[in-house]
Chains A and B, each alone.
Chain A
Amino acid sequence: MQTKTILSVSKFLALLGGIWYSILCGSQILTLVASFINSDWARRTYEVNLDIFNIREHNIGYYVYAMCLIIATSALKAIIWYGVFGLLLKLKLQTPFSMEVEKKLERIAFLLLGVWLVSGVFWKIYIYYLAKETAIQLPANSSGDEYFFMALIVYIISQIFKRGIEIQEENQLTV
């Protein structure tokens, strides 16, 4: 009963997370597009980081690249939350070991790895070259590395799940 309640609350939170990151991603895309039409309006509407707008004045290419990384991170996070929501929808406590759930877990692990690559690795490379080329210092994204850790854990869980399904299948096909 308690597990059922926790799962229902998690489902709701996952949906909320997905909607929140979708809105965030949409506002970031809007800011990027608006900044080409009215820079001042974009600066007021969405305060990503005022340094990023300073980069725009310096080099538009660097600015677009930074915004693309920020948008990609938000989009990936939204997809992960929707993935968690989908997984919780498919999860049945009576028969939790199904190939569908395992595939969804594996997909979430790869998406988390994607977040780590975009917000951790690519962002760090970007700010390193930016500092070297323009002397503009952007803050490093500290949350990047945790996503690698999370991706690894979810992937390990998905593999254990996969083995569980195989054992269950073997038991069912033993006569």
Chain B
Amino acid sequence: MPIIVNLDVMMAKRKMSLNELSEKVGLTLANLSILKTGKAKAIRFSTLEAICKVLDCQPADILEYKEN
């Protein structure tokens, strides 16, 4: 898929672990892992909003479009 999820980059910048993010966002570890590994087919605005709020970033910091 040409949409790349840079969640791991943002997590590293904020020095936040997956467990911590999972607790703060209210998402299960399994779902967060799906998102982090790029296996997700879709993301809800509410999820994106929660991640952006916790990581203090913009949606563009997490999602990137790269042509194949």
Contacts and interface: CB of A to CB of B under 8 A. Distances in A.
Contacts of B35: 175
Interface residue range, chain B: 10 to 19
A51 B32 CA distance: 71
B15 interface: no
Contacts of B19: none
Interface in A120-175: 169-170, 173-175
A169 B41 CA distance: 8
Contacts of B44: 174-175
A61 to B, nearest CB: 56
Interface string B33-46: 01100011111100
Contacts of B47: 175
B21 to A, nearest CB: 12
B61 to A, nearest CB: 17
Nearest to B47: A175
A64 to B, nearest CB: 54
B11 to A, nearest CB: 15
Interface of A: 169-170, 173-175
Given A174-B40, A175-B42, A175-B43, 18 more contacts: A169-B41, A170-B41, A170-B42, A173-B34, A173-B39, A173-B40, A173-B41, A173-B42, A174-B41, A174-B42, A174-B44, A175-B27, A175-B31, A175-B32, A175-B34, A175-B35, A175-B44, A175-B47
